A and B are shown apart, each in its own frame.
Chain A
Amino acid sequence: MSAVIDEHGHGHEHVHGPAKGLMRWVLTTNHKDIGTMYLWFSFTMFLLGGSFAMVIRAELFQPGLQIVEPAFFNQMTTMHGLIMVFGAVMPAFVGLANWMIPLMIGAPDMALPRMNNFSFWLLPAAFLLLVSTLFSPGGGPNFGWTFYAPLSTTYAPESVTFFIFAIHLMGISSIMGAINVIATILNLRAPGMTLMKMPLFVWTWLITAFLLIAVMPVLAGVVTMMLMDIHFGTSFFSAAGGGDPVLFQHVFWFFGHPEVYIMILPAFGAVSSIIPAFSRKPLFGYTSMVYATGAIAFLSFIVWAHHMFVVGVPVVGELFFMYATMLIAVPTGVKVFNWVSTMWQGALTFETPMLFAVAFVILFTIGGFSGLMLAIAPADFQYHDTYFVVAHFHYVLVPGAIFGIFASAYYWLPKWTGHMYDETLGKLHFWLSFIGMNMAFFPMHFVGLAGMPRRVPDYNLQFADFNMVSSIGAFTFGATQIFFLFIVIKCIRGGEPAPAKPWDGAEGLEWSVPSPAPYHTFQTPPEVK
């Protein structure tokens, strides 16, 4: 933090520190402040969504109904999904983008700072609205995070209207954030920072931002159709009036499948910075990484119906979506190959960011393989709506998106706080997360293949032991994240002072500014050779 705050500095061009007090955060247009708020907001939502997961795992600890009513269990699965997707993962990446993209491309701030402030402050409003539905008569959303009609229209609780409005707010926030990211990357790069010199985190975010602009409006459209069906007598999804509930699934998954790449591409980018840093080698295959990201983004638009193999897609359609889905394994394989090749014969050290990054590569690949299994249309008839699907998407989202965020947080914490985090505690956080996460989600593969359905609060006795293991793993993983909070607070409050470049193998403009990064950076653009 700058030592002197110039009270009269406003309106002048010279460097001044942040304003004081609460209004600093309400009115700030500084990309670092907004990035910090996004990250804290995301972590809060991560703990809230996580506590809902704890309720789910506590109920599933043993067969039979013990702790919550089935109706409330449904609200927990729904809210857990919605909050983790829209409240935890997406804002965390927007927070990282806010903090790091200007620093990585040598820009003084984001291109549209006031809009940046507005996109952030929409989120607390949206989630307050969403979470408040849990206390409304009839309860909160209980139709699953995919809110299929007619569950979410004809049979929805009264609070569904608030859910729709919350989704609208989140969508507006994401779209504005995406426009901001694109404008920043395309217009504010330092001289000499050509597109093909940008760090991969910037590249993956640029592509993610285009995905957001392409699909978040479709999500807004689908909830608007729901709203009209519920309140204005239209029949988009009601067969009685000439509509079709299957249409809902098409429109939803047209948004939903690119959405899963929105949640993973920025993690790909971050890991592509972290692995070279701790391998002390440049990234292997930079250009192929960029093209692979583009290919994944393109393919994500033409595979949506693989979520719907059992609704009665014609055979030709099932074949098309099956092969298109499997094709995604090619660019993803290129990426995994490049990460492994970067590590090959590198001078590897395993600080906490690297541990999370390596675990990311291994465990995300496992999640990718179960995805390939699910892509096989005839096999999917068996796997559909079982715990195998739950295992699959938690393997790509927890050690994928979440571990990518943890790796980024540890990697850039010295730059954010000016202190090194406690390496021993960081490693402990990693190992407890790693063990807890695998314990929680690996057994789900087995119970899923054996036929345990998802979203049900009770299960057959044969699944009892595996579910108990899952629950113990989930509790371990959950408790460990409180420990992460402790590590971060400890790092903010003190610790070994961090040099400008705390990782000797790290590359990039962000390491050319002091740690902690001053409130204003790159007011004169750096020269990139």
Chain B
Amino acid sequence: MHGLSQRRLVLRLSLMTVVMFAFGFALVPLYDVMCQAFGINGKTAGQYQGSQVSDPSRSIRVQFMSTNASDMVWEFHAKADQIEVNPGAVNQMVFIARNPTGRSMTAQAVPSITPAEAAAYFHKTECFCFSQQVLQPGERIEMPVRFIVDRDLPAHVKHLTLAYTLFDITARQPPVARLTAEDVQGAR
């Protein structure tokens, strides 16, 4: 026999297996942290608390896209296709959603920024994506999003796109409903 006794060796190897199984799951929060820290994958952070001074010398074109995920039947669009904004200034855009069906439905919007490198410089101070939308049959709502484009946005970025995908989560309501507002924000 060399080195460790058989029992201890097998125990250590089994422990390694368990640790790696846990590591697989640890990749999930790690991935979100990495995406937010480096602003990769177009993922935007949660609610922005800071404020900035407007920079009137620079103008950025922000385009808005609204997409329905498969099986989603709501009417969903932004009031304008694009606006010109100054970095640092607080801007607002209103999105409109209408539930054309005969039943009550719940939706969740998921934002994404293109180019992905700009995601870290796009701050939302208020967004309908921070919560879920419940619409009664035929109901229509106006949903505001307030945002600041950071003054430190790299100079070569002249315009960026904010895209929302709207998911029908009526069926998954029970598990999602248990999440608190903070959970949902954290995941954004």
Residues of A within 8 A of B (CB): 111-112, 175, 178-179, 182-183, 186-187, 189, 213-222, 225, 232-236, 239-244, 246-247, 250-251, 254-255, 312-314, 317
Q: A221-B25, A246-B41, A314-B40 are in contact. Are A186 and B3 (CB under 8 A)?
A: yes
B16 touching A187, Cβ below 8 Å: no
CB of B167 within 8 Å of the partner chain: yes
**Chain B 162-188 per-residue mask, 1 if CB under 8 angstroms from chain A, else 0:** 000101110010111001000110011
The 9 tightest CB contacts between A and B, nearest first, are A221-B24, A242-B187, A240-B167, A233-B175, A217-B21, A217-B20, A218-B24, A179-B13, A239-B110
B6 touching A183, Cβ below 8 Å: yes
Q: A242-B188, A314-B116 are in contact. Are A220 and B24 (CB under 8 A)?
A: yes
A176 to chain B, nearest CB (A): 9
A241 touching B2, Cβ below 8 Å: no
A150 to chain B, nearest CB (A): 9
A317 touching B20, Cβ below 8 Å: no
CB of B1 within 8 Å of the partner chain: yes
CB of B18 within 8 Å of the partner chain: yes
Checking B2, B40, B108 against A186 with a beta-carbon cut-off of 8 angstroms, the contacting residue is B2
- Given A217-B24, A234-B175, A317-B40; 7 other pairs, CB 8 A cutoff: A182-B13, A186-B3, A214-B20, A232-B175, A239-B110, A240-B172, A254-B24
Residues of B within 8 A of A242 (CB): 108, 110, 179, 183-184, 187-188
Taken together as a complex, chains A and B put the C-alpha atoms of A239 and B32 apart, in Å, by 12
Closest to A214 in B: B20
CB of B48 within 8 Å of the partner chain: no
A213 to chain B, nearest CB (A): 5
B108 touching A112, Cβ below 8 Å: no
Checking B20, B38, B167, B169 against A213 with a beta-carbon cut-off of 8 angstroms, the contacting residue is B20
Residues of A within 8 A of B40 (CB): 312-314, 317
A250 touching B27, Cβ below 8 Å: yes
A111 touching B6, Cβ below 8 Å: yes
Residues of B within 8 A of A317 (CB): 40
Taken together as a complex, chains A and B put the C-alpha atoms of A235 and B41 apart, in Å, by 18
A244 touching B31, Cβ below 8 Å: yes
Taken together as a complex, chains A and B put the C-alpha atoms of A218 and B1 apart, in Å, by 32
Taken together as a complex, chains A and B put the C-alpha atoms of A312 and B42 apart, in Å, by 9
B38 touching A217, Cβ below 8 Å: no
Residues of A within 8 A of B187 (CB): 242-243
Residues of A within 8 A of B175 (CB): 232-234, 241
B41 touching A244, Cβ below 8 Å: yes
A214 to chain B, nearest CB (A): 5
A187 touching B24, Cβ below 8 Å: no
Chain A interface, DSSP helix/strand/loop, else mixed: helix
CB of B14 within 8 Å of the partner chain: yes
Taken together as a complex, chains A and B put the C-alpha atoms of A14 and B131 apart, in Å, by 74
Interface range for B: 35 or more
Q: A186-B9, A218-B23, A239-B110 are in contact. Are A175 and B169 (CB under 8 A)?
A: no
B40 to chain A, nearest CB (A): 5
Taken together as a complex, chains A and B put the C-alpha atoms of A221 and B18 apart, in Å, by 10
Taken together as a complex, chains A and B put the C-alpha atoms of A236 and B30 apart, in Å, by 13
Taken together as a complex, chains A and B put the C-alpha atoms of A24 and B176 apart, in Å, by 53
Taken together as a complex, chains A and B put the C-alpha atoms of A254 and B38 apart, in Å, by 20
A189 to chain B, nearest CB (A): 6
CB of B83 within 8 Å of the partner chain: no
Q: A213-B16, A240-B110 are in contact. Are A187 and B1 (CB under 8 A)?
A: yes
Q: A218-B21, A240-B110, A244-B41 are in contact. Are A254 and B10 (CB under 8 A)?
A: no
A251 touching B108, Cβ below 8 Å: no
Residues of B within 8 A of A241 (CB): 108, 167, 169, 172, 175-176
Closest to A220 in B: B21
Residues of A within 8 A of B6 (CB): 111-112, 183, 187
Taken together as a complex, chains A and B put the C-alpha atoms of A470 and B63 apart, in Å, by 48
Residues of A within 8 A of B172 (CB): 233, 235, 240-241
CB of B155 within 8 Å of the partner chain: no
Question: Which of chain B's residues 75-115 have a Cβ closer than 8 Å to chain A?
Answer: 108, 110
Closest to A234 in B: B175
B31 touching A217, Cβ below 8 Å: no
Residues of A within 8 A of B43 (CB): 244
Taken together as a complex, chains A and B put the C-alpha atoms of A222 and B20 apart, in Å, by 12
Residues of A within 8 A of B4 (CB): 186-187
Residues of A within 8 A of B13 (CB): 178-179, 182-183, 213
Residues of B within 8 A of A183 (CB): 6, 9-10, 13
Taken together as a complex, chains A and B put the C-alpha atoms of A271 and B164 apart, in Å, by 54
Taken together as a complex, chains A and B put the C-alpha atoms of A217 and B116 apart, in Å, by 32
B27 touching A247, Cβ below 8 Å: yes
Residues of B within 8 A of A215 (CB): 20
Taken together as a complex, chains A and B put the C-alpha atoms of A225 and B21 apart, in Å, by 11
The 15 sampled A-B contact pairs (Cβ below 8 Å) are A111-B6, A112-B10, A179-B10, A187-B4, A217-B21, A225-B25, A233-B172, A233-B174, A233-B176, A235-B172, A239-B165, A240-B110, A242-B184, A254-B24, A255-B24
Taken together as a complex, chains A and B put the C-alpha atoms of A244 and B13 apart, in Å, by 32
Taken together as a complex, chains A and B put the C-alpha atoms of A179 and B175 apart, in Å, by 38
Residues of B within 8 A of A222 (CB): 24
Closest to A316 in B: B38
B28 touching A247, Cβ below 8 Å: yes
B132 to chain A, nearest CB (A): 10
Residues of A within 8 A of B53 (CB): none
CB of B51 within 8 Å of the partner chain: no
Taken together as a complex, chains A and B put the C-alpha atoms of A99 and B35 apart, in Å, by 47
Most A C-beta atoms less than 10 A away, residue of B2, B116, B174: B2
Closest to B27 in A: A251
A490 to chain B, nearest CB (A): 41
